[in-house]
Structure 1
Amino acid sequence: MQWDESSSDSDGAEVAFQLNPCKILNQLRQSGQLTDALIKVENQSFPIHRAIMSACSPYFRALFTNELFHTDRREVVIPGVSADIMKMIIDYAYTLKIKVRPDNVEALLPAADQFNVMGVVKACCDFLTSELTPENCIGIYKFAKAYFCHNLERNSFRVLMQDFITVAKDSSEFLQLTANELCDILSHDELNVRNEELVFDAVLRWIDWEPERRKSSIPKLMRSIRLGLLTTQYFVEKVKTHPYVKESDECKPIIIETLKFLYDLDMEEDKAVDLTSPLARPRVPHELLFVVGGWSGGSPTNIVETYDTRADKWVVSDAMDTGPRAYHGTACIGHMIYIIGGFDGMEYFNSVRCFDAINKTWSEVSPMNAKRCYVSVTLLDGLIYALGGYDGHTRQSSAERYFPRKNQWSLIQPMNHQRSDASAACHDNRIYICGGFNGAECLSHAECYDPRANQWTMLTPMRNRRSGVGVIAYRDHIYALGGFNGISRMNSGERLNPVTNTWTPVADMYSPRSNFALEVLDDMIFVIGGFNGMTTIFNVECYDGCTDEWYDASDMNIYRSALSACVVTGLPNILDYISTDRETERGRKSRLHTAKLNE
């Protein structure tokens, strides 16, 4: 028998012994004592206490309290469930413990749903949520929908939308969808696709699985693709001429409508797309680029802009902080954006501001140990690192990191060199910092920090001196772009192979620039704003590592340099930050951008 012991005073004079009722009742059940009913499943009988089962399950409560159920009746036959699953349900009623496994969840969830044992239903849903992958999300989504498991349904649908490209390429469940189910998926604004060409490819893979039976569905599926967002070249060469499309009479009106839409757009280069047409409504992005602060119009600014990759549009947000700052750093943890250090034209900051992107509120968190303007900021293992910078008197070699849970900054090993106006990035559990200014000259040297050893190691110097440089990790390399070499602003770039410790050049940017922001978005490097040697700019361009080429993207709304940027993923209120009418100036410039991506 189980006893729990507790003492009510310090000298042990009074000791109370308390029974653990659940354990005792379970022991009584297992020994067959004081039970008042038998549940029969298949060829097995389970003695139970009606009160315990009624407390756990509304199904059994209704059964045992029904007037037609005689109190002297002991045996209850339960059809449609296995003995093993019934035993798990009964064990849970007495212990409130359940072990969900891959080999029992498909039988356990329907049984828990049948008996309305919500604790087991939740345990099954939590387990399935933890097991979600692009390969199984469609099956789990259908399973959740069938049993009205709304949270699991939402979670599995989110994976389906977020990882649709992987689902379409690798999931066997994708090939088992009906035409109506596939149309429903493709019609969603939340479908996460870089371009509509990928949606067309997914349709072809689905039809190719059973072409004779499925190719008749091509007109219905074509209506689910945002054909107006394709380039004219791709549509004419890949879509219009495809045998599935060409052989379908029902596709002819769709072809004519789309060609007219694309032709009108090509004839007027600056014409905005009519997004009331289902042909051209942009998808909702799953990642959002935030740009905060900077130097604009001769003074620092507090303006926040967001970039919608799907509409290729910048939107000025109303979520501005009370004070401006420039030459600062930015890091994002979850949906929290941290603004670190910087300068407001008069004061050098060690302060750190935090923006909650869901609640749209600003707050102050613990300040750094040192004032840091021209600071290099990066994020590693959930910790924010602030490196070097200028405090108004001295260029710093010191570095520190922030623990969000503790709201505390701690100094780490100083760098080997003083540097401000450098830039840093993380790769393979190490921090890389490159370039900058030491008060006398622009720097070409780079170094690497290992947090496990708390040690900095010098690397091979860059091929160019770069202050106001942009550094980012991309495709297993460290890219150093633009900057000031002491004479002029540069548009050149180079990348470090961390394995061989060697630098190689990359394609030049269109615009020379220093003190710009950069981030990776849609598997491309975006460089944003900056100073070109004569004026502050608002131009944005992006780099595709597959082609080693740069492409124009839409300009920001304001000119700014000394700004900072970060990417926020999975915002539940993302519609608050993108254009509500989804209008876009998707003229020839952005259409050529897309065309180059698909060459």
Structure 2
Amino acid sequence: MPSEASVSSKEMLTGQRLCHSKSHQDSVLSALNQQRKDGQLCDVTLVAGEQKFHAHKAVLAACSDYFRAMFSLCMVESEADEVTLQGVTSVGLKHALDFAYTGQILLEPAVIQDVLSAGSHLQLLELLSLCSHYLIQELSSVNYLELYRVADLFHLPALEEAVVGFLVEHLSELSQSRQDEAQQLPYRLLREVLKSDRLTSLSEEEIWKLVVLWLEHDCRYQYTEDLLQHVRYGLMDVPTLHHLAHSHPLVQSSPIAAALVDEALDYHHATFAQPLHQSAITGPRFQSLTLYIIGGRKREVSRVRELRYFNPSAQEHVRVAGGSNWSELAAMPTGRSHHCVAVMGNFLFVVGSLGGGRLHNFHNFYNICTVTDSFLFSSGQNESGVAVHDDRIYVVGGYSIWTNEPLACIQVLDLSAEGKEEVFYGPTLPFASNGIATCFLPAPHFTCPNLQTLQVPHHRMGAV
């Protein structure tokens, strides 16, 4: 044996580490559950109906605000060995306790109502969440109305949202083949469906007719103004709006509806100001964002007029990329390439182009919903950078149609004031450039730029 004293463990170890057992939590909970089943070390007995259940107060209080208050706020039950629960069935309590001790529950139609009642009464929020998820998976055209009532009764917002989404997707089918059922929809459910941006299976005129039929059924005119304000009149065509304004009794009897129709007519008449007039009655309904392709050049000679967007929904079972996945909107007046685009207020602005061996010095804009286009202003440039900020489109740099050389200017299309739309030059770039990219982002923290210098005209070009 060496005579020197052995080195202590403190001198051999160098650091501090947090060590974690992956099985400890599960094993403790499993042991507690076994104690519950064996009736060992339990300190309370719960009674529901004529059945008794052993449990641990600490476990119950950890899972439920209801039990935490019962056992810790000097209530009578806090000292009792046996507690009778009212409003909870023995089936519901059994499943609730199984969940509290295992984190698992077997749900089926025969027990779901009892489990929901127990979870709601005992404030077992995680249990209610699992019940909600189970019911969402069971959602169908047969039970959606009943599940909506369940969601309302037990305050299950995820289930309610799922029912609304389901009806949004199937409202066209319902209105065409099951009109009686459509007229029986609960008011709140119909209102939430009408508010959805994803309601694309019906045209706005068809949505209007559905709402009118619902109001006329059983004379539910007390909901007229609340429901009619969720119809997007700006998506209707002008002849339809004129007919509603002058001939429909509901519009003539409702000042709010009449004002909304008039607002939509003003929106259609103010073509150049439409990007600034986006509101609840003009916003497009759409399922999701998608990819648009505008113009382009085929094989060096043919320039494309079409405006297309990616739309695989028409062929849901086709998973290969190809022409069948692209839908077409209205064509542009002429083929374009080397142009730029910007989006503002759900409008697509197409800026400049090269086509047919020459530059096009005009700009178009397109309403993605109604697919209209109008000429806006001359610019004489292409291959510019384009960015949008505060109702203004900034066209930066580019290649000049007049001098055949890069530009150092910034042109601004200002749509911020209705009736005073104009185009003007902003400050010059540090160097002339075409093929440039531009965007608006937060400024670096060490700078403090003043955007007003970009927004004050340096040289006015004229009104739109």
Name the CA shift for 1:202/1:255 in 2 (closer, same or farther; >3 Å).
closer
Contact 2:339 2:351 in 1 (8 A): yes
Determine the C-alpha separation between the residues in 2 that align with 1:256 and 1:18: 67
1:531 to 349, 353, 364: 353
Contact 1:132 1:156 in 2 (8 A): no
2:249 to 221, 246, 250: 246
Identity %: 19
Measured after TM superposition, the shift of residue 107 of structure 1 is: 4.4
Name the CA shift for 1:165/1:506 in 2 (closer, same or farther; >3 Å).
closer
- Is 1:166 aligned to 2:174, yes or no? no
Determine the C-alpha separation between the residues in 2 that align with 1:166 and 1:68: 52
**Residues 283-327 of structure 1: per-residue CA shift (max 9 Å, x gap):** 37667879xxxxxxxxxxxxxxxxxxxxxxxxxxxxxxxxxxxxx
1:513 to 332, 336, 352: 336
**Residues 39-64 of structure 1: per-residue CA shift (max 9 Å, x gap):** 22234322223333233223223334
Determine the C-alpha separation between the residues in 2 that align with 1:114 and 1:283: 42
**Residues 539-590 of structure 1: per-residue CA shift (max 9 Å, x gap):** 245899xxxx97427879997558899xxxxxxxxxx9989xx98979xxxx
**Residues 379-434 of structure 1: per-residue CA shift (max 9 Å, x gap):** xxxxxxxxxxxxxxxxxxxxxxxxxxxxxxxxxxxxxxxxxxx98xxxxxxxxxx9
Measured after TM superposition, the shift of residue 212 of structure 1 is: 4.3
| 1:433-448 aligned within 5 A | 442=300
Measured after TM superposition, the shift of residue 472 of structure 1 is: 5.9
Contact 2:43 2:56 in 1 (8 A): yes
Measured after TM superposition, the shift of residue 21 of structure 1 is: 2.5
**Radius of gyration: which is bigger?**
2
Q: Give the aligned partner of residue 430 of structure 2.
A: none
The structure whose RCO (Cα within 8 Å, separation 6+) is larger is 1
Determine the C-alpha separation between the residues in 2 that align with 1:50 and 1:542: 63
Determine the C-alpha separation between the residues in 1 that align with 2:378 and 2:124: 55
Determine the C-alpha separation between the residues in 2 that align with 1:45 and 1:474: 59
Q: Give the aligned partner of residue 161 of structure 2.
A: 156
1:47 match: secondary structure: strand
Determine the C-alpha separation between the residues in 1 that align with 2:136 and 2:239: 42
Determine the C-alpha separation between the residues in 2 that align with 1:120 and 1:25: 19
**Residues 175-201 of structure 1: per-residue CA shift (max 9 Å, x gap):** 444456645764x5x644579x94553
Determine the C-alpha separation between the residues in 1 that align with 2:152 and 2:39: 39
Q: Give the aligned partner of residue 237 of structure 2.
A: 231
| 1:469-488 aligned within 5 A | 473-474=310-311
2:52 match: secondary structure: strand
Determine the C-alpha separation between the residues in 2 that align with 1:163 and 1:516: 41
- What amino acid is aligned across from residue 512 of structure 1 in structure 2? G
Name the CA shift for 1:24/1:561 in 2 (closer, same or farther; >3 Å).
same
Contact 1:516 1:564 in 2 (8 A): no
1:23 match: secondary structure: helix
TM-score (norm 1): 0.43
2:77 to 55, 66, 69: 69
1:69 match: secondary structure: helix
Determine the C-alpha separation between the residues in 2 that align with 1:137 and 1:577: 43
Contact 1:530 1:563 in 2 (8 A): no
- What amino acid is aligned across from residue 77 of structure 2 in structure 1? F
Name the CA shift for 1:508/1:182 in 2 (closer, same or farther; >3 Å).
closer
Q: Give the aligned partner of residue 93 of structure 2.
A: 86
1:38 match: secondary structure: strand
1:27 to 27, 34, 55: 34
**Residues 324-375 of structure 1: per-residue CA shift (max 9 Å, x gap):** xxxxxxx89xxxxxxxxxxxxxxxxxxxxxxxxxxxxxxxxxxxxxxxxxxx
Contact 1:516 1:527 in 2 (8 A): no
Larger % of strand: which? 1
Determine the C-alpha separation between the residues in 2 that align with 1:563 and 1:240: 47
Contact 1:192 1:284 in 2 (8 A): no
- Higher deviation after alignment, 121-130 or 53-62: 121-130
Aligned length: 356
Measured after TM superposition, the shift of residue 211 of structure 1 is: 4.0
| 1:45-194 aligned within 5 A | 45-65=52-72, 66-69=74-77, 71=79, 73-100=80-107, 104-105=111-112, 107-127=114-134, 144=151, 147-148=154-155, 152=158, 156=161, 160=164, 165-166=168-169, 168-170=171-173, 175-179=183-187, 182=190, 186=194, 188=195, 191-192=197-198
- Higher deviation after alignment, 527-536 or 126-135: 126-135
Measured after TM superposition, the shift of residue 510 of structure 1 is: 2.0
2:76 match: secondary structure: coil
- Is 1:202 aligned to 2:204, yes or no? no
Contact 1:526 1:540 in 2 (8 A): yes
Q: Give the aligned partner of residue 283 of structure 1.
A: 283
Q: Which runs of 5+ in 2 are unaligned?
A: 1-20, 316-321, 393-414, 420-464
Contact 1:35 1:47 in 2 (8 A): yes
2:77 match: secondary structure: coil
Q: Give the aligned partner of residue 461 of structure 2.
A: none
2:231 match: secondary structure: coil
Name the CA shift for 1:577/1:107 in 2 (closer, same or farther; >3 Å).
farther
2:228 to 214, 219, 222: 222
Determine the C-alpha separation between the residues in 2 that align with 1:45 and 1:215: 50
- What amino acid is aligned across from residue 204 of structure 1 in structure 2? K
Measured after TM superposition, the shift of residue 281 of structure 1 is: 4.9
Q: C-alpha root-mean-square deviation of aligned residues, in Å?
A: 6.0
TM-score (norm 2): 0.53
Name the CA shift for 1:557/1:92 in 2 (closer, same or farther; >3 Å).
farther
Q: Give the aligned partner of residue 552 of structure 1.
A: 373
Determine the C-alpha separation between the residues in 1 that align with 2:106 and 2:58: 23
Determine the C-alpha separation between the residues in 2 that align with 1:578 and 1:102: 54
Measured after TM superposition, the shift of residue 115 of structure 1 is: 0.9
Contact 2:252 2:258 in 1 (8 A): no
Name the CA shift for 1:104/1:282 in 2 (closer, same or farther; >3 Å).
farther
